Amino acid sequence: MNFNYNFSNDNLDKDFQRIIEKFLSGLDISIQEGVVLFKARGKEQKILFNLANSLREKINGNKVSFVINRNINFTNVCHMGCSFCGFAKKIQDKNSEWLSFEEIVLRSKQAWNRGATEVCIQGGLHPKLPSNYYLELIKSIKKELPDIHIHAFSPFEIWYGAAKSKKSYYDFISELKEHGLGSMPGTAAEILDNKVRSVLTKNKLSAKEWIKIITTAHKVGLPSTATIMYGHVDKPIDWANHLDIIRNIQRKTNGFTEFVPLSFIYENSPLYLENKKLVRKGPTLDEVYNMHAVSRIMLSGYIENIQVSWTKLGPQVAQNTLDLGVNDFGGTLMNESISRAAGSKYGQEITSLEMVKIIRASGKIPIQRNTLYKTIKTYEDNDPNYIEPLVPRGSLDPIKFLNQKPNSSKLSSTH
Ligand code: SF4
With beta carbons less than 8 A apart as the criterion, state whether 391 and 348 touch: yes
Which of 71, 84, 85 gets mutated to test ligand 1 (max ligand atoms within 8 A of its CB)?
85
267 vs 247: CA distance, rounded Å:
31
| Contacts for 16-24: CB closer than 8 Å, 24+ residues apart | 16/40, 16/44, 16/47, 20/47, 20/51, 23/51, 23/297, 23/300
111 lines ligand 1 (CB under 6 A): no
pLDDT at 5 over 90: no
35-67 pLDDT, tens digit each: 999 999 999 999 999 999 999 999 999 999 999
Given this model, what pLDDT does residue 406 score?
Answer: 58
125 lines ligand 1 (CB under 6 A): yes
230 vs 207: CA distance, rounded Å:
15
196-226 pLDDT, tens digit each: 999 999 888 999 999 999 999 999 999 999 9
159-179 pLDDT, tens digit each: 999 999 999 999 999 999 999
In the sheet with 63-67, reading across from the earlier edge strand, the strands are 328-331, 63-67, 365-369, 375-378
Global confidence as pTM: 0.96
Report the SS3 class of residue 228.
Answer: strand
Given this model, what pLDDT does residue 392 score?
Answer: 86
For ligand 1, atom 7, the nearest C-alpha belongs to 124
Beta strands in 274-380 (DSSP E): 328-331, 365-369, 375-378
35 lines ligand 1 (CB under 6 A): no
124 lines ligand 1 (CB under 6 A): yes
Domains of the chain, by residue range, sit at 58-403
More confident residue, 69 or 392: 69
* Closest ligand 1 atom number to CA of residue 205: 3
For ligand 1, atom 1, the nearest C-alpha belongs to 85
pLDDT at 68 over 60: yes
310 lines ligand 1 (CB under 6 A): no
For ligand 1, atom 3, the nearest C-alpha belongs to 80
Given this model, what pLDDT does residue 409 score?
Answer: 52
Mean pLDDT calculated for residue range 278-306? 98
For ligand 1, atom 4, the nearest C-alpha belongs to 82
Given this model, what pLDDT does residue 405 score?
Answer: 61
Confidence band of 407 (pLDDT split at 50, 70, 90): low
Given this model, what pLDDT does residue 1 score?
Answer: 80
Average pLDDT, the chain: 94
Mean pLDDT calculated for residue range 263-284? 94
Residues 6+ apart with CB under 8 A from 382: none
Confidence band of 413 (pLDDT split at 50, 70, 90): very low
* Closest ligand 1 atom number to CA of residue 81: 5
Check the CA dihedral 160-166-170-173 and report its sign. negative
pLDDT at 410 over 60: no
Which of 82, 126, 210 gets mutated to test ligand 1 (max ligand atoms within 8 A of its CB)?
82
Given this model, what pLDDT does residue 412 score?
Answer: 41
Confidence band of 415 (pLDDT split at 50, 70, 90): very low
307-329 pLDDT, tens digit each: 999 999 999 999 999 999 999 99
How many A from CA of 266 to the centre of ligand 1?
A: 15
How many A from CA of 355 to the centre of ligand 1?
A: 29
Q: Which helix (H) or strand (E) holds 261?
A: strand 256-263
More confident residue, 220 or 405: 220
**Fold exhibited by the domain 58-403:** TIM Barrel (3.20.20)
More confident residue, 343 or 124: 124
Q: Which helix (H) or strand (E) holds 32?
A: helix 31-38
Given this model, what pLDDT does residue 395 score?
Answer: 80
With beta carbons less than 8 A apart as the criterion, state whether 75 and 124 touch: yes
Q: How many CB atoms lie within 10 A of CB 103?
A: 13
Mean pLDDT calculated for residue range 386-395? 88
The percentage of residues in the chain with a pLDDT greater than 70, rounded to a whole number, is 97
